[in-house]
Amino acid sequence: MLLLLEGIPVFSSYRAAFMMTDTKSRAPNRDLYAILVLFGTVMLIGGTDMTKVTVALPVLADALALDSAQTLWVGDIYALAAGVALAPSAVAADRFGRKRIYVLGLSVAVVSAALAGLAPSGAIMIAARIGQGLGSALLIAGTVAVIRVTFPGIRPRALAYGVWTAGFSTGSALGPLLGGGLVDLAGWRWVFWINVPVLLVCLIGAAFVLRESTNPDPPSLDAPSAVLSVVAVGLLIAGLKDLTRPDTAPWLGPAAMAVGAGAVVLFVIRQLRLPRPFLDVRLLADGLLANAALVIATTLGVFNGTLYLLALRYQVTGGLTAVDAGIALLPLAVAMAVGGLVGPVSQRWFAQQYVIVAGMFTAAFGFLLLATAPGAGEPVGMILLGLGAGIVMAIGANTVMSAAPEERTADAGALQESAFALGAGAGIAVLGVMAVHYAAPSAAQPSAEAVYGVGADSALGIAAFFYACFALAAGVHLVSTVRNPHGKAEKSLR
């Protein structure tokens, strides 16, 4: 997710990035540009991972004989694993060293990409994607902390965050085309293997240019919180997917979701009792902050779920090659990157609540157009959906940060990052399950053509309607905050 620092959209930092000074000297100035190149390159690869794998899914699923449920796990588990691992990764960076965690993240990312490319079965592929998500969480936690202690002053730090974010945005925009090209020219395994040499070079570079630092007063790693978060997310998503599987007992899905919901309650209770919680849920008592976090999660979920279904529909039922599907998806991905730039510029003249509402309404209109107006309306709808989502991501994240008290910005950043990752994964899961359900409600095992044809069309249409309703309700609340004292303070930040 993105926040604004000196008008530049940047990834927000966690608790580790906001701690006091590090225990060792900062890197000399001659190393700063090398660090920028390192972070920008790694995030370029990370950005492509968010979009290129989706384009490769039809060929990958056919090669590994995956059913629709397994294909869905391959698509969403990366973001879900990252979302669960973000908070503990930040604490680990604080305790054990920012460089050490960053290097560990690169190592996990390299091994996981190699394993994904070698995967002989769906189970191994899903395990490798979990590893990629864990590596991503470690890299994000290490990066924001390293930037905080290595780049002195607001402007150098803004430059570092800007380069890092630009790498991610560029990668996300290029991902569909890159993934399609690799599938058609070299095979689906190279969608993963292409990461290995690049990240190995970055791993060697990180060993030389980064300096170790730790927090002298680090928070503790709370094992029960980590376990509860994994159980909650895992069972909620697994239970949701089991609802569409004819080969499981009908009570299993609801039971898993009930246990997952119980784990959520226990997680919240534990956070309220901890003096330094993993995730400070008390911040959600602020209506503006809670609304912005929910808007981030929902909008990114809609964006990623739509990207997932369109990529599969274009190839499975539309007959496009992977590279042609990548080209067809470029308007959606590029428009989101553009929205990340348009949002901060708009904030110069309008309160951030108004900018978020405009972004949501743009995304909602685009989503409705995409879902209900086939033909010429579809590319226009993709552009509007991507543009609105980019605006929401950039300004919504800044709203979360600015709504929190200054001394609790690290906790707000952790909430925001978790909303970003979990929203992305949950969106793919929900729209994917809807597509399976509406493909053939009475069929024991709907075909891929039915799932990504009539099922995807129904899922997109229903999701577009509910997102429009959500945007209206959330927009009313956001606009109302401008008129209260807290809202006036927000307005002054434009």
Return per-residue pLDDT of the chain as tens, 494 residues: 433 333 333 333 344 344 433 444 444 456 777 888 888 888 888 888 877 888 888 889 889 988 877 888 888 888 888 888 887 887 788 788 888 899 999 999 999 999 999 999 989 999 999 999 999 888 888 887 777 777 766 567 666 766 766 677 778 778 888 888 898 888 899 999 999 999 999 999 888 888 887 767 666 777 888 888 888 888 888 888 777 776 676 778 788 889 989 988 998 898 888 887 777 778 788 878 888 888 988 998 899 899 889 988 888 888 888 888 888 888 888 888 788 777 777 777 887 888 888 999 999 999 999 988 877 778 899 999 989 988 888 777 777 767 777 656 666 767 777 787 888 888 888 898 888 888 866 556 777 788 888 888 899 999 999 999 999 998 888 888 775 444 444 444 44
Biggest CA–CA distance in the chain, Å, is 66
Matching residue, tokens 């189970």: 123
Q: Which runs of consecutive H residues, i.e. helices, occur in 210-251?
A: 223-242
Q: Which H or E element spans position 494?
A: none
Structure tokens at 348: 């110069």
Q: How far apart are CA 285 and CA 3, in angstroms?
A: 20
Q: How many helices (H) and strands (E) does the chain have?
A: 18, 2
Structure tokens at 320: 């496009």
User: Is residue 225 a contact partner of residue 267, using CB atoms and an 8 Å limit?
Assistant: yes
User: Is residue 332 a contact partner of residue 385, using CB atoms and an 8 Å limit?
Assistant: yes
The per-residue pLDDT for range 141-180, each reduced to its tens digit, is: 888 777 777 776 656 766 676 676 667 777 877 888 888 8
Residue 276, sorted as left (phi over 0), alpha (psi -120 to 50) or beta, turns out to be beta
Q: What letter does residue 453 receive in the DSSP assignment?
A: I
The per-residue pLDDT for range 434-477, each reduced to its tens digit, is: 888 888 665 567 777 888 888 888 999 999 999 999 999 988 88
Identify residue 481 by its one-letter amino acid code. Answer: T
Give the residue from 430, 382, 371, 57 showing the smallest Cα distance to 241. 430
Go through the chain and tell me how many residues it has. Answer: 494
| Alpha-carbon torsion angle 80, 78, 4, 307, nearest 10 | -100
